[in-house]
Structure 1
Amino acid sequence: MADNTGSQQSLNDIWASEDAIFARKELLDIDHIPDEDRIIGRDEEIEDVASSIHPAVRGKSPRNTLIYGKTGTGKSLVAKHVTQSAKQFAETNDTDMGRVYIDCTQSTTETRVVINIARNLNSPEATNISIPVTGLSTDVYYHRLWNILDELYDVAVIILDEIDKLKDSEILMQLSRAGEAGKVDSCKVGIIAISNKISFKDTLDERVLSSLQDREFVFPPYDANQLRNIMHNRSDAFHDGVLTDDVIPLSAAFAAQEHGDARKALDILRNAGELAKDAGADQVLEEHVRDAREKADIDRFAQLLEGQPPQIKATVYSLSLLADNNPDESEFSTRQIYDVYKQLTALLDMDTLSHRRMADRLGEQVFLDILGRSERVGRGRGQGVTHYYFLMEDPEVVKQVIHQDDRFADVNNVSI
């Protein structure tokens, strides 16, 4: 019988050891809702959103609200903080207020969103209503959601984050017209929809726009000073003396280059701490920050590409090869990308899609913020519009992420 005494002792040493770097690591989690005094540079935005849903704390109908802004500008944080505060205040007014947060990058269909709303708001022991994860029609899920709302709540505020990732907007119609259409009798329903795309409303049809009757707020990017303050206000995530003086300014400078992205700033700071910890260092140094920035880029892009099929990776990889081999150019036409794509799929022994189908895959990646796209109108009579695509990340980062897929592991030395 194998003697595992040594391995058990090693585990015991790990469990008993203190974390030399982090004191309250959760403060660096972007999903963590901090106390209001830790929320920097968003006082006006907090007041705007609070004003919009203010009637909810007394059981009346809140205004539907659309929040726009680039990634990491505090949209989700403010929406979560304001609704959490509203729910607590509502209790003092004997108002039963429900609040639920839905990440539409994880729930991309109408049915999945309805299921998650219902499951989050339901108390089965009180309603005697079950919400199975599969097996019912969308109409039945809606019917059960309306019953839950009327049974348990005077008012409910539903946060739909990254709403532009939904495959259709029917959920907005259903929720915004629930009272008017007689779906709910007593519960008032409000929506806070959040999008990185300020053009999101342009994709909605007139019926949805008419029923929403929303207020709109645009969150500006953080500047470098605000990013520094955000990180200083969460520096007690680390033990005293762990952060050297240049760590926070450098993390803020890197994040400011990314359009004032607080999410990236916190990712860099957390990753720097983890790298220092893994190295057995006593302090977080500038070198850890620089390495953490690269890791944050890779992690973000890996998350975007996670679960994407090989054909998608092949189109993105083809663009990265073009960008790598043509450093003086930033954008490439569909035809240029397709020429490289055909060579790449042949080398990898993959099926080669038609030009049109590959172009459709490129368009999907623009929708997912993996690629960017511009248009150029041809000169002369009868000339159409040509789409040009560009990477949203450094080509080396893109290739490093795609190389993690075994199918692409051997393509590292391919020259096209």
Structure 2
Amino acid sequence: MLCEVLKLNDEDITDTTVPHTGLSTSKYYKLLWQILDAQFDSVIIILDEIDLMNDDSLLMKLSRAEEAGKIDCSIGIIAISNKIQYVDNTNERVKSSFQHKELFFKPYDANQLREIMHNRADAFQDDVLSDDVIPLSAAFAAQEHGDARKAIDILRHAGEVAYETGAEKVREEHVRQAQQHAEKDRFRELVNGAPTQAKAALLALTELSVNSDDDAFLTSRVYDQYEQICDHLDMDILSVRRFRDILKEQAFLGVLEIEKINKGSAGGIHLQNRLIEDPQVVRETILEDTRMQNWDDK
């Protein structure tokens, strides 16, 4: 099948110019419907990393446009997300109109990651990588996340560790050190810019995770731990409602997961919180903040 890629708005066809600023959202949507009708009988719209949207209003408008008489063009939507529970958290009306079908793509396995990294080995000088470096990097990445970019990060970090220590070759021990560095770097990117209150909330969940056999905790229990941390660090204690908002924000960033637990008519619905990253790595990263280090001295 021959596919032709067109820019969304061809002014020669639509006689429509879309300014970057100065229009209301409703006007932009009206122009979008006009452009799609003018150029397409049917169109597939691909939304990558859809979980980064603040709400599901865009999905609502796109999935209901034809039914609502806004457009004659048929619209199909491909929504891509790393979070398999994304659709579960959307509005019921969106689920009804979207009528989605889920396709799951497995993470890369070790063999696939090994092949990908072999194609990137030319970033190193010849004979610098020992034979076990790429297989071990691939194994680490496959066990944890199956993410090719993160696997390449491990390989890059291993090279940096070897260079900094003056080694002539990148070896297994450098990969193991790189794995630890990569975990901290990924989390550090998310946490370093977080407000102090968010760090205190994460530290509360971390302390529970480190000191318990459980890995998921009710919000009320995390809040109790958070109060202890704030008391010790002489920080203001936020309301339970604001604390819940902070946990939701961190879940949105992919630092933790929140799961609804239904305990029946008597127990009601509760939220359980679980760290996605290794709790020890999370703890070490948070305590790099000088304000939080006093907690380690308690």
1:411 corresponds to: 294
Query: Is the alpha carbon distance of 1:344 and 1:177 closer, same or farther for their aligned partners in structure 2, counting shifts above 3 Å?
Result: same
Q: Which moved more, 1:270-279 or 1:255-264?
A: 270-279
| CA drift at 1:371 | 1.9
Q: Does 1:400 align with 2:284?
A: yes
Shift of 1:307: 4.2
In 1: Cα distance, 2:32 partner to 2:74 partner? 13
SS across alignment from 1:159: strand
Give 2:247's match in structure 1, choosing from 362, 366, 379.
Answer: 362
2-structure distance, mates of 1:391, 1:207 = 30
Between 1:231-240 and 1:340-349, the stretch displaced more is 231-240
User: Looking at both structures, which has the greater relative contact order when contacts are Cα pairs under 8 Å and sequence separation is at least 6?
Assistant: 1
Q: Which residue of structure 2 aligns with residue 4 of structure 1?
A: none
Question: 1:26-50 deviations in whole A, cap 9, x for unaligned?
Answer: xxxxxxxxxxxxxxxxxxxxxxxxx
Q: Distance in 2 between matches of 1:154 and 1:375?
A: 41
The match for 2:224 is 339
Measure, in 1, the Cα distance between the counterparts of 2:111 and 2:236: 50
Amino acid at match of 1:129: V
Give 3-state SS (helix, strand or coil) of 2:45's partner.
strand
The CA deviation at 1:219 is 0.9
How many residue pairs match? The answer is 296
Question: Closer, same or farther in 2 for the Cα pair 1:328/1:199, shift >3 Å?
Answer: closer
Aligned with residue 268 of structure 1, among 125, 129, 154? 154
8 Å Cα contact 2:233-2:295 kept in structure 1 = no
Distance change (3 Å), C-alpha of 1:384 and 1:174:
closer
Q: Secondary structure at the match of 2:146?
A: coil
Q: Which residue of 2 aligns with 1:350?
A: 235
Give the Cα–Cα distance (whole angstroms) in 1 for the partners of residues 16 and 259 of structure 2: 51
| 1: CA distance, partners of 2:96 / 2:263 | 37
Residue 317 (structure 1) aligned to one of 178, 189, 203: 203
SS in 2 for 1:192: strand
Q: For residues 58-81 of structure 1, what are the alpha-carbon distances to aligned partners after superposition, in whole Å with 9 as ceiling and x for unaligned? A: xxxxxxxxxxxxxxxxxxxxxxxx
Could you say which residue in structure 1 is the equivalent of 2:257? 372
Instruction: Write the letter of the residue equivalent to 1:139.
Output: S
Query: Which residue number in structure 2 is paired with residue 51 of structure 1?
Result: none
**Residue 159 of structure 1 aligns with which residue?**
46
User: Who is 1:171 aligned against?
Assistant: 58
Aligned-residue offset at 1:244: 1.4
Partner of 2:20: 131
Deviation of residue 320 (structure 1)? Answer: 1.6
* Maintained 8 Å contact 1:163/1:195: yes
CA offset digits 1:363-402 (Å, max 9, x no partner): 44334432234566779x9445554433222233213332
**Displacement of 1:153 after TM fit?**
7.2
Please name the residue that 2:3 is paired with: 90
- Rounded Cα–Cα distance in structure 2 between residues aligned with 1:188 and 1:239: 53
Aligned-residue RMSD, C-alpha: 3.6
In structure 1, C-alpha distance between the alignment counterparts of 2:29 and 2:192, rounded to whole Å: 30
Once the two structures are superposed, residues 48-106 of structure 1 have per-residue CA deviations (whole angstroms, 9 ceiling, x without a partner) of xxxxxxxxx6xxxxxxxxxxxxxxxxxxxxxxxxxxxxxxx524xxxx434xxxxxxxx
Query: Quick one: structure 1 residues 180 and 319, their matched pair in 2 at CA, closer, same or farther if it must change by over 3 Å?
Result: closer
Matched position secondary structure for 2:126: coil
| Secondary structure of the corresponding residue to residue 207 of structure 2 | helix
In the alignment, structure 1 segments of 5+ residues that lack a partner are 1-56, 58-88, 99-120
Name the structure 1 match of 2:137.
251
Q: What secondary structure, in the 3-state scheme, does the structure 2 residue paired with 1:390 have?
A: strand
Determine if contact 1:267/1:296 at 8 Å carries over to the other structure. yes
Aligned 8 A contact 2:232 2:295 in 1? no
SS in 2 for 1:195: coil
Amino acid at match of 1:256: A
Aligned mates of 1:168, 1:140 — CA distance in 2: 19
What SS does the aligned partner of 2:47 have? Answer: strand
In 2, are the aligned partners of 1:312 and 1:361 still within 8 Å (CA)?
yes
CA change 1:234–1:138 in 2 (3 A) is same
Q: Is the 8 A contact 2:130 2:170 kept in 1?
A: yes
CA contact 1:124–1:130 (8 Å) conserved in 2: no
**Cα offset, 1:353, TM superposition:** 1.6
Whole-angstrom distance in 1 between the partners of 2:38 and 2:85: 37
Asked if structure 2 preserves the Cα contact closer than 8 Å seen for 1:129 and 1:148, the reply is: no
Letter in 1 for 2:233: L
Asked if structure 2 preserves the Cα contact closer than 8 Å seen for 1:131 and 1:141, the reply is no
Taking the aligned partners of 2:104 and 2:116, their CA distance within structure 1 comes to 20
Say whether 1:201 aligns with 2:71. no
Residues in 1 aligned to 2:168 and 2:196: alpha-carbon distance in whole angstroms:
42
Give the conservation status (yes or no) of the 8 Å contact 2:107–2:145. Answer: yes
Instruction: Please give the secondary structure, in 1, of the residue aligned with 2:291.
Output: helix
Deviation at 1:292, TM superposition (A): 1.8
The answer as to whether partners of 1:331 and 1:390 remain within 8 angstroms in 2 is: yes
Partner of 1:11: none
Q: 1:169 to 1:389 in 2, by over 3 A?
A: closer
User: Does the aligned pair in 2 maintain the 1:158–1:192 contact within 8 Å?
Assistant: yes
